Structure formats: structure tokens, C-alpha cells
Amino acid sequence: MEHAGVELGFHPDDDERNPRGGSPVFCWQVADIDKARAWLLDAGCAHHRGPLTVSPGVRIAQVRGPFGVIVGVDGP
């Protein structure tokens, strides 16, 4: 059964990648993180972080969009 809703996550401060007062990170859950990340990079985004395994069966990746906004994808 699929669920609709919003998931909220919090990051610890990271002076290099997530400084206090920096860009919020908007994340989308995707079926194939590698394919979604490649599509975003081909569309003009720049690598920011990952892909990283953050818990068993869950990976994340983040890219920086052309206007500086960090966009994340998460999934298997």
C-alpha cells in the first residue's frame, strides 16, 4: 500500500555542505536514484553531495540547481 504525505527531515550543521542559514534542501522520493541524479546533472545541475547510503535500503543524492537551490533525491 502506498502512502501520500510529506516527510520532514533535519540535518545537523555542516560547515562545508549545509551551513547554518544556507539553502533548505527539497527532496523527492524516486524509484531509481542513479537515473534521477543523472537526469538532473544532464539538465544543468551541479553535483553537491552523494549518492550516500543513509540507512539500510535508503540512499540520497543532492545537486545544486542553476539558481543555487539544493535539490535532493532519495530512494533505493
To the question of pTM greater than 0.85 for the whole model, the response is no
Confidence of residue 1 (pLDDT cuts 50, 70, 90): very low
How much is the pLDDT for 71? 87
For 65, the domain range is 25-75
Residue 18 forms part of a structural domain: no
- If one counts every other C-beta atom within 10 angstroms of the C-beta of residue 36, the result is 19
In CATH, what number is assigned to the domain containing residue 42?
Answer: 3.10.180.10
Within 8 A by CB and 6+ apart from 46, the residues are: 63, 64
Residue 38 forms part of a structural domain: yes
Q: What is the pLDDT of residues 38-49, one digit of tens each?
A: 999 999 999 998
Residue 40 forms part of a structural domain: yes
Residue 12 forms part of a structural domain: no
Of 37 and 54, which is predicted with more confidence? 37
Domain total in the chain: 1
